[in-house]
Amino acid sequence: MRVLLQPAFILHRRPYRDSSLLLEALSMEHGRLGLVARGAAGPRSRLRGLLQPFVPLLLSWSGAGDLVTLTGAEEQQPQSSLPPARLLSGLYANELLVRLLPRRDPCPELFKAYARLLAELATAAAEEPVLRSFEKCLLSELGYGLNLEHEAHSGAPIVAEAQYQYVLDCGPLAVAGNATGVPISGRGLLALRDGTLDDPVLLREAKRLTRAALAVQLQGQLLKTRELYRVKRTPRPE
């Protein structure tokens, strides 16, 4: 099968044999792809500097199965580059996609959400709110979207002033007795639903919930980028 130029982003790259690259890419119409870019790491290859994460590309490829051969690449459009302080957030999103997305599963809405994430990481005043919105979208694409509208047992609308325990295989439950789950306020649920996470308290609540839901999907896999976050935030000895 031969696929002509399609919108895509590189999620990960690593050397392969003498002068080639193994790529993980996210395409709009074909989902996550594994590609071999033959000769792309050679000193004279024009693709060497082009096949980088966070760059909007047009890619073409041929072949079938889990690993296909890259046949062409072009830069799609200029885009604001990620500031150095935001690169780790971009790598975190890329790692989530590589770990959790099945291959060859079209995900146009997630592709748009990822492009929007990169644009917002480049310009937004704060990175955490846009990451939480992206995590919410990713969970929905995986088929495990969060219920942010109604109390799970009664079906009643979420009340901003109420307190809930979010049980991951059920939904938000009004706090009563010994209910277990992720504690979150009604305001936190609604803020995550609406993407209005300016309040630091609500942002922390939303982060606890999305991280807990993603942990179920990761099934014990450790994310390298989270370890880098911890190292970055650990004070160095004087």
CA distances in angstroms from 73 to 17, 62, 100, listed in the order given: 20, 13, 25
Residues 51 and 90 in one domain: no
Same domain? 109 vs 52 = no
Let me know how many helices (H) and strands (E) the chain has, helices first.
Answer: 6, 8
What is the pLDDT at residue 67? 93
Helix (H) or strand (E) holding 200: helix 200-218
Q: What domain range is 46 assigned to?
A: 2-75
Burial class from Cβ neighbours inside 10 Å (0-12, 13-18, 19+) for residue 60 reads middle
In a domain, 37, yes or no: yes
CATH number at residue 92: 1.20.1440.120
**Secondary structure, 3-state, 19-64:** CEEEEEEEECCCEEEEEEECCCCCCCCCCCCCCCECCCEEEEEECC
pLDDT in tens, the chain (238 residues): 888 899 999 999 999 988 999 999 999 999 999 999 999 999 889 898 899 999 999 999 999 888 999 999 999 877 678 999 999 999 999 999 999 999 989 999 999 999 999 999 999 999 999 999 999 999 999 999 999 999 999 999 999 999 999 999 999 999 876 568 999 999 999 999 999 999 999 999 999 999 999 999 999 999 999 888 777 766 555 4
Residues whose CB is less than 8 angstroms from the CB of residue 223 and which lie 6 or more positions away in sequence, other chains included: 92, 95, 96, 99
This prediction has a pTM of 0.92
The Cα 135–Cα 235 span in angstroms is 28
238 part of a folded domain:
no
Q: How many CB atoms lie within 10 A of CB 39?
A: 15
Length of the chain: 238
Say yes or no: 96 and 148 in one domain: yes
Whether residue 167 is contained in a domain is answered as yes
Name the amino acid, one letter, at 47.
L
DSSP string, 5-29: EEEEEEEEEEEETTTEEEEEEEETT
